[in-house]
Amino acid sequence: MLLLTLSHQSAAASGPSILVLGDSLSAAYGMDMEQGWVNLLEQRLKIKAPNAKVINASISGETTGGGAARLAGLLDKYEPSVVIIELGGNDGLRAYPIKQMRRNLKTMTDAALNTNSKVLLLAAEAPPNLGRRYTALFRESYTQLAQNEAVMSLPFIVEHIFLSDELMQADATHPNAKAQPLLLDVVWPSLLTLLGNSIDE
């Protein structure tokens, strides 16, 4: 009992840690890292939990395969409370097989759950030129995995941002700095639910 109490106090003192494993959307592509939604997340989180830590392991151009290959080492190094998986967009851009993407997403989810980390899946979308069947199966991959593994998921967090030229970079693909707080606002409520009692309400 004493050991459990001390362990709980130690965890509370260290604060929650969030590992973000994503692609250019989370790697602040085209802007300073400080402007990205992941850095804004850490700033907002520390208001509620001063000892909280956010590890941004996102890489522009990353695929689910790359994330699956890297995650085990990241889990071992950082022992995060929550893992946010924001991958799949580049799989879709390259028209990778759906089964391969699903397998990679499941590998990452299982790896995180096996270390007692909670998981938040941020879904991606496939380009419409790949056809309705591919895009539908692509989208369903996230909802099905979330249901099967009993983890939380969110739909494509930039869906509405794409409709505003003022929120997009010149490449019409990546959200700009103005859009980053909006991306955080989408993720924030779900993250608070996952963190639960580890932060102040």
Q: Name the amino acid, one letter, at 175.
A: P
Q: What is the pLDDT of residues 16-71, one digit of tens each?
A: 999 999 999 999 999 999 999 999 999 999 998 999 999 999 999 999 999 999 99
- The CATH number of residue 139's host domain is 3.40.50.1110
Q: Give a yes or no: residue 12 inside a domain.
A: no
Q: Is residue 6 part of a domain?
A: no
| β partners of residue 18 | 54, 82
- Write out the residue range of the structural domain in which residue 111 sits: 17-191
pLDDT tens string 184-195: 999 999 999 999
In a domain, 201, yes or no: no
Domain count across the chain: 1
**Amino acid found at 91:** D
Enter the tokens of residue 190: 């779900």
pLDDT for residue 199: 72
For residue 5, tell me if it sits in a domain.
no
| Residue in the structure block whose two tokens are 């998921």 | 153
In angstroms, the CA 57 to CA 19 distance is: 7
Q: Is residue 200 part of a domain?
A: no
Please classify residue 19 by burial: count the beta carbons closer than 10 Å to its beta carbon, then call 0-12 exposed, 13-18 middle and 19+ buried: buried
Q: What is the model's pTM?
A: 0.92
Q: Are 104 and 138 in contact (CB under 8 A)?
A: no
pLDDT tens readout for residues 75-131: 999 999 999 999 999 999 999 999 999 999 999 999 999 999 999 999 999 999 999
Who wins on pLDDT, 129 or 163?
129
Tell whether 52 is covered by a domain: yes
User: What pLDDT does 158 receive?
Assistant: 94
Q: Is residue 10 part of a domain?
A: no
Q: State residue 197's pLDDT score.
A: 73
50-61 tens-digit pLDDT: 999 999 999 999
Residue 14's pLDDT is what?
A: 75
Q: What is the pLDDT of residue 200?
A: 61
Active site residues: 24, 171, 174
Name the one residue in this structure whose structure tokens are 């989408």.
186
Question: Which residues face 20 on adjacent strands?
Answer: 56, 84
In our burial notation (b when 16+ CB lie closer than 10 A, e otherwise), range 157-175 reads bbeebeeeeebbeeeeebb
**Is 36 contained in some domain?**
yes
How much is the pLDDT for 9?
41
**Which SS3 state, helix, strand or coil, does residue 19 take?**
strand
- Averaged pLDDT, 169-196: 96
B/e letters for 42-69, b = 16+ CB within 10 Å, e = fewer, are eebbeeebeebbbbbbbbeebbbbbbbe
Q: Which one, of 130, 178, 123, lies nearest residue 152 by Cα?
A: 123
